[in-house]
Amino acid sequence: MDQAKDYDFRSIEARAHNEWQAQDVYRVSEDAKTSTGQLKPKFYACSMLPYPSGKLHMGHVRNYTINDVMARQLRMQGYNVLMPMGWDAFGMPAENAALQNNVPPAQWTYQNIDYMRSQMAAMGLAIDWSREIATCKPDYYRWNQWLFLKMLEKGIAYRKT
């Protein structure tokens, strides 16, 4: 038997991904405990949020793989690791890419988020997708606006002339 020819990595990988998704293995509970009942030490492993202005490229793969390896190692060492993902979608890179492709910016952004999410899922990254954010959504940016107004009230933020 020629193992290289008979090894069907695609079906094996698909089964593993389906099992991980069914068991929700990367969802993090804030109060995760060890087998002895002690709270696990926490670690927040957040990579930079990509601009959803296109597709993922090898630079993204490199960055997210490094973070994924670190998160997995810490999990094996007993840490409660939160590895969230989000999209830096509120700005000019995504809008300019949309306009260059003659697509409304919101449509372009959400299509790319969906595609990039599927690319990350195919990589098998240990992301807690229940914590996903997009900076273009009002439930996210309203808090940035609120915080900015608070800083303005306190004189921490100001316009320099």
CATH number reported for the structural domain that contains residue 128 in this entry: 3.40.50.620
In a domain, residue 43? The reply is yes
**pLDDT score for 105:** 92
How does pLDDT run across 28-54, given as a tens digit for each residue?
999 999 999 999 999 999 999 999 988
**Number of structural domains the chain divides into:** 1
In a domain, residue 147? The reply is no
User: What DSSP string runs through 17-32?
Assistant: HHHHHHHTTT---TT-
Q: How many other C-beta atoms lie within 10 A of the C-beta of residue 111?
A: 13
In a domain, residue 18? The reply is no
**What pTM was computed for the model?**
0.84
**pLDDT score for 127:** 97
**pLDDT score for 2:** 66
Question: What is the residue range of 130's domain?
Answer: 27-136
In a domain, residue 156? The reply is no
pLDDT over 60 at 1, yes or no: no
Mean pLDDT within 66-95: 94
In a domain, residue 1? The reply is no
In a domain, residue 13? The reply is no
**What is the band of 100 on the pLDDT scale with cuts at 50, 70, 90?**
very high
Name the percent of the chain lying above pLDDT 70. 98
Mean pLDDT within 98-126: 94
- Beta-strand runs (E) in the chain: 42-44, 80-82, 86-87, 133-134
In a domain, residue 65? The reply is yes
In a domain, residue 84? The reply is yes
- What is the rounded average pLDDT for all residues in the chain? 92
